[in-house]
């Protein structure tokens, strides 16, 4: 039976982890590769790097991080942030990423999703959706960290990118991101039920119950979280044990 | 002793290379990623990876001069141990039915068909960690806990190999229906999952492959 996945996400800026992992004795808590190795050993099902490097000159730093991670970790790796062209995707895949998540570029040009899927296969194309509630039962896509509205309906957009070849959707509720009050379950379920591809729920995790809710009530096939893991509040193992007790199927290898 | 990983332009071979290198070092073997048919012809062990669409991978393989012939010679005639991974495993089939029909190597007769699930809960691609149900004993699974309580393998695929001869199916995985997870015939083996991404199970399988004397 397929297990639901628990995915820690690390924000990486100029090749360094923004909020360093703090649950094991690392020589360098700011080194994304050391954090990746720690999560690999801790039983994470995948790892996600979000590159938030702002300056163009430093954009290459993530490639080095991905390359070194792929040498040390034998687990799936998704990388996102600033992916605009098929060359960006190719470079990340060649460096060792298994999946690449695209966001703004897909919002501006849907055809980019189709092009990426045709060139590299749907299995490595993740479309990231940042959505905010605008009225009851309606969510819109926002870009620029949730600051810029696009007027695009999130559910319709999710269906569209799935039809264009996205192999997975990474959904973040911008209303919940950073709040620690839990996923926007209504949003998550609305999109998960509307598409035939797997969905990763993100944004708002503050407790282990939230992870359970994302899968059980939100119908997500994977849950992504950052801070609850990075600061040692909960281990991946504790998260999975909690999910298992709630009746979910997780991998405990 | 040289293990070659065939590079025919199908995606990233970096992680496959690193995983095989890690296990090969213990066995005193050398791993080489190559697009040189001559090296594939002479290799002691051959790994054929592959990601993306079946037809693209087939075109990629055909575009390397002498590659298919080198594989036929070394694997079929000389019987050297061979492992296909993901689309590299699917290419063993007779035909791939992804975006039209493309021919495979026909080493494991059958078709590569779309995964059809009956429930909206079962998404496609089949993506993530699943357990293996062995259909027969196989050297590559030796010592690896399988079954519902066994270790997990990492899958990501929308198509699967439906073997014409069930006796060539080594293991299946349960995703609403039984999907082919692993095939084998003589010195030829193929995994739908990615051993290089499957942590414990994957590294154990790679170690078994490097020791395999079919």
B109-161 pLDDT tens trace: 999 999 999 888 899 999 999 999 999 999 999 999 999 999 999 999 999 99
Option in A1, A97, A167 nearest B125 (CB):
A167
Find the residue in B nearest to A196 (Cα). Answer: B123
Q: pLDDT at residue B11 above 90?
A: no
Task: Work out the number of other CB atoms within 10 angstroms of the CB of residue B79.
Answer: 12
Q: Residue A232: pLDDT band by 50, 70, 90 thresholds?
A: confident
- Residue B48's pLDDT is what? 97
Q: Which residues of A touch B31 (CB under 8 A)?
A: none
Active site residue B194: yes
Q: Which residue in A40, A93, A197 is closest to B12 by CB distance? A: A93
| Mean pLDDT to the nearest integer, A116-122 | 89
Using the predicted structure, report yes or no on whether residue A50 has a pLDDT greater than 90.
Answer: yes
Q: What 3-state class would DSSP assign to A10?
A: strand
What is the average pLDDT across B50-69? 93
Min CA distance, B160 vs chain A (Å)?
A: 14
Residue A20 has pLDDT above 70, yes or no: no
pLDDT value for A27: 76
- Note whether A17 and A226 are within 8 A (CB): no
Q: What is the pLDDT of residue B168?
A: 98
Q: What's this model's pTM, rounded to 2 decimal places?
A: 0.95
Residues paired with A225 in a beta bridge: A8
Please give the average per-residue pLDDT across A26-49, as a whole number: 92
- CA A162 to chain B, closest CA, distance in angstroms equals 10
How do A5-13 and B2-6 pair as beta strands? unpaired
Residue B207's pLDDT is 97
Cis peptide before A207 (omega within 30 of 0): no
Residues A34-55 have a mean pLDDT of 93
Cβ partners under 8 Å of residue B67, min gap 6: B6, B8, B35, B37, B40, B61
Distance CA A163, CA A158 (A): 9
Closest CB from B125, B131, B197 relative to A76: B197
Band of residue A111 on the pLDDT scale cut at 50, 70, 90: very high
Q: CA of B52 to nearest chain A CA: how many angstroms apart?
A: 4
**Which residues of chain B does A70 touch, with a Cβ-Cβ cutoff of 8 Å?**
12, 14-15, 18
Radius of gyration over every alpha carbon of chain B, rounded to an integer in angstroms: 16
Above 90 in pLDDT, residue A26? no
Q: How far apart are alpha carbons A124 and A202 in whole angstroms? A: 19
Query: Which residues of A does the annotation mark as catalytic?
Result: 11, 130
Region B192-196: mean pLDDT is 97
Percent of chain A with pLDDT over 70: 100
């Amino acid at each position: 039976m397929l297990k639901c996945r628990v995915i820690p996400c690390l924000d990486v800026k100029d090749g360094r982890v923004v909020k360093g992992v703090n649950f094991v004795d690392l020589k360098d808590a700011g080194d994304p590769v050391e954090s990746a190795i720690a999560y690999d050993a801790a039983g994470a099902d995948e790892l996600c790097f979000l590159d938030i490097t702002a300056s163009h000159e430093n954009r290459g730093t993530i490639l080095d991080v991905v390359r070194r991670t792929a040498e040390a970790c034998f687990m799936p790796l998704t990388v996102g942030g600033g992916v605009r062209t098929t060359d960006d995707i190719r470079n990340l895949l060649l460096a060792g990423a298994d999946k690449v998540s695209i966001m703004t570029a897909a919002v501006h040009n849907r055809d980019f999703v189709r092009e990426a899927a045709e060139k590299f296969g749907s299995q490595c194309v993740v479309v990231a959706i940042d959505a905010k509630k605008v009225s009851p039962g309606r969510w819109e896509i926002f870009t620029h960290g949730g600051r810029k509205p696009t007027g695009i309906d999130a559910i319709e957009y999710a269906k569209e990118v799935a039809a264009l070849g996205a192999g997975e959707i990474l959904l973040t509720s911008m209303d919940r991101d950073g709040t620690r009050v839990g996923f926007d379950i209504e949003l998550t379920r609305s999109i998960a039920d509307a598409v035939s591809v797997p969905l990763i729920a993100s944004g708002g995790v503050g407790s282990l119950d939230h992870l359970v809710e994302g899968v059980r009530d939100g119908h997500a096939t994977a849950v992504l979280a950052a801070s609850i893991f990075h600061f040692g509040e909960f281990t991946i193992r504790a998260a999975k044990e909690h999910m298992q007790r709630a009746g979910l199927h997780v991998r405990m290898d | 002793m040289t293990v070659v990983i065939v590079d025919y332009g199908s995606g990233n071979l970096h992680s496959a290379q690193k995983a095989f290198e890690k296990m090969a070092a213990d066995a005193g073997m050398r791993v080489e990623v190559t697009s040189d048919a001559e090296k594939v012809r002479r290799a002691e062990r051959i790994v054929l990876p592959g990601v993306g669409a079946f037809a693209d991978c087939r075109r990629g393989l055909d575009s390397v001069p002498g590659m298919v012939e080198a594989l036929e010679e070394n694997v079929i005639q000389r019987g050297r141990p061979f492992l296909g991974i993901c689309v590299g495993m699917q290419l063993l089939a007779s035909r791939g039915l992804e975006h039209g029909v493309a021919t495979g190597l026909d080493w494991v007769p059958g078709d590569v068909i779309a995964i059809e699930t009956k429930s909206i809960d079962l998404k496609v691609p089949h993506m993530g960690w699943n357990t293996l149900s062995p259909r027969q004993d196989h050297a590559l699974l030796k010592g690896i806990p399988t079954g519902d309580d066994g270790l997990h393998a990492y899958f990501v695929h929308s198509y699967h190999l439906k073997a014409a001869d069930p006796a060539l199916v080594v293991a299946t995985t349960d995703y609403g229906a039984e999907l082919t997870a692993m095939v084998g015939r003589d010195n030829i083996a193929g995994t739908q999952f990615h051993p290089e991404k499957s942590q414990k199970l994957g590294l154990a399988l790679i170690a078994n492959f490097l020791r395999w004397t079919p």
